[in-house]
Chains A and B, each alone.
Chain A
Amino acid sequence: MKDVIDVMELQREKSRKIIPVDYKQLEFSGGFTPARFIFECGIKLGAQPLTLATSAVIMHRFFREVDPANYDCFLIAASSLYLAGKVKDDPLKIRDIINVAHNTLHRGSSPLEIGDEYWNMRDAIVQAELLIMRILKFEVNTTHPHKYMLHYLKSMEGWLGKEQWESVPVAKASAAFLQDFHHDPSILDYNPRHIAVACISLALQCYGVQLPLIEDTDDETWYNVFIKDLPKDKHWEIMEKVMETYNREPDTS
């Protein structure tokens, strides 16, 4: 394992302009592709961030239980969004999901007419939802890292001091890392508190922020004030996983 996180890699100028990807050309890519599809569709639908996170978690969990080759990953992604909306009391209309999903897959096409194709798709989403729930044992509650992150960040606000807090976008970057980490199924493998800490650490490193009154040594780290059960190597491991997520992004430059 590396003992330095190459933050330069993260800062390297990626082309800012996001070029629309052609999902039909993409592989399943360990779940990255359907996750990206979830986020793109979900943001277009105006879904809440926690709904998107839930949706990605449901989708990743589903594909852990089955052979991904047997299922259309975009159907499962759309169904996960629909289900997550119900779970989070942030209901998404199925008609909207169909229109957005269809247009995202077939860019520039006009909305589906109410006809066989529309009804087939609607029925497929509804049936896939029932399939997903049975595969997941109807256990669709998730403990998100978000609430922990919020509390850690809130405490750090006072710790860093107002001036420095406002000069660096630590909170924003942490939240972005956390959301992007949902593209990777390894989000399922770690304790939500640990994920929250790792995302914050990464943000601190990116912006070179040093927390006052704390020396990061072998047996003392900044996050010890929040959690005691995160060994250093695990901390690094999660940070690396978060960074690896960015390497999976299809090359759009």
Chain B
Amino acid sequence: MQSNNSRDRENHSSSSSGNHSHSVTMSMREKEKYIETFNFPFCDLTSKYEKVFKIGQGTFGEVFKARDKSNPKKFVAMKKVLMDNEKEGFPITALREIRILQLLKHENVVNLIEICRTQASQHNRYRSTFYLVFDFCEHDLAGLLSNVLVKFSLGEIKKVVQQLLNGLYYIHSNKILHRDMKAANVLITKNGVLKLADFGLARAFSTNKSGMPNRQVIALPLNCRCFYSVVSRFTNRVVTLWYRPPELLLGERNYGPPVDLWGAGCIMAEMWTRSPIMQGNSEQQQLTLISQLCGSITPQVWPGVENLELYKKMELPQRQKRKVKERLTPYLKDPYACDLLDKLLVLDPLKRADADTALNHDFFWTDPMPCDLGKMLANHTQSMFEFLAPSRRAATQMRHQSMPRPTTSAVQDSGYQDRVF
């Protein structure tokens, strides 16, 4: 194996000591020309799109709104793949996101159109940058909620939550965990269609017979190594702090779909409260806030919690009464809404409602029935993203001066870029 046969690369030719006879000899200029003009039939150039402006910061890069040059009415969102560690090649996290997005095709999941590359030229040392290209969505939920002029009727809220749960039902049926539920990752098109977005932390999971996900699975009496799967322990450093469920805060590594449903509950409550309901500034404070809302975390309400890694290390407020309905009724008013939230914000992940159960809740099947958001959104011609919302951004940044950012972090990427949100 020798290096100078891969011609799609910057060449360090002079020192190659390979002894293959079939190496191709080209001058430096010829090589550059070769790279510049190399034709990738399945990977178009980003120049087919024209950037409009920046709309956000994803797990591994910036996101831009862009116009399709061949169809000026069509807009896309372009998410840059950060290649922070060039020596390790394409980031495994980005690859995971791409594979998951290729698998998930659903009305309520953001649609990946293609992956584009920038032209390799001397300006980028003959190395392309990659962009994921998505269908453009006009708003994100955090942006909409931070705008006081946007008012949701009960029917419209039902439609949002229903679509959110529909999306979760779909991804969980496909054995994918989102792991980063929050209002800013819930996109809404101008026609009122909700799309789950940012699968930068998403992962596949497996379920064994007892329904507990992510445990060692297949060990059949077939003496072939072929059929054994690897035990993988997930990191618990996922999900933005304010939306992080108690089991992750207590160090659970064998978690599953309930982590996303906790987030869905937080988002649902936010539809009325208009700001995240539990804004802790540390994992400890987040657990305190959760205990104050959902009651004390004890082995009585949550059998097995005492075995979690951090159960003894964290300070857990005792004798707290569960006040989910009590605290939220002033905002929600609708008793069905309170009841559904009460079933989503459950401490014990095994008792937390799953997406299917939640979708069957009376909340969605009583008057006023879920109704289309398109008409309401038609009153707002301005795109609303959390990233662009001055009030919400400023508020969060002020908070950030005195405390760590409530961002998602994953231990596997050391060169992790904090997001603006």
Contact = CB atoms under 8 A, between A and B. Distances in A.
Interface of A: 24, 48-50, 69-72, 74-75, 78, 82-83, 86-87, 89-91, 94, 101-102, 105, 116-117, 119-131, 133-141, 146, 150, 153-154, 157, 171-172, 175, 178-179
Given A124-B9, A175-B222, 6 more contacts: A24-B20, A69-B22, A86-B92, A120-B4, A124-B6, A136-B42
Contact of A126 (B12, B89, B92, B227): B89
Given A75-B3, A128-B6, A86 B95 contact: yes
26 contacts: A69-B22, A70-B24, A75-B5, A82-B89, A91-B92, A117-B16, A117-B17, A120-B16, A122-B87, A123-B12, A124-B1, A124-B5, A125-B89, A127-B6, A127-B10, A127-B127, A128-B8, A130-B89, A134-B43, A135-B40, A135-B42, A136-B42, A146-B227, A153-B222, A157-B221, A171-B222
Contact of A137 (B9, B24, B43): B43
A72 B1 contact: yes
Contacts, number: 138
Contacts of A137: 42-43, 115
Interface stretch (B64-72, B97-105, B259-267, B321-329): B97-105
A71 B230 CA distance: 33
Contacts of A75: 1-3, 5-6
Contacts of A130: 8, 89-90, 128
Given A150-B220, A153-B222, A126 B86 contact: yes
Query: Contact size class for B?
Result: 35 or more
B95 A140 contact: yes
Given A127-B9, A171-B222, A150 B2 contact: no
Contacts of A135: 40, 42
Contact of A150 (B88, B218, B225): B218
Nearest to A120: B3
Contacts of A140: 95, 99
B27 interface: no
B15 interface: yes
A139 B98 CA distance: 8
Nearest to A115: B15
B224 interface: yes
Nearest to B21: A24
A151 B332 CA distance: 49
Contact of A116 (B7, B8, B15): B15
B230 A90 contact: yes
A133 B103 CA distance: 17
A94 B87 CA distance: 9
A113 B245 CA distance: 48
Contacts of A116: 12, 15, 17
Contact of A74 (B1, B92, B102, B220): B1
Given A150-B227, A172-B224, A71 B90 contact: no
Interface in B12-41: 12, 15-17, 20, 22, 24, 40
B87 A131 contact: no
Given A48-B230, A117-B15, A134 B20 contact: no
B117 interface: yes
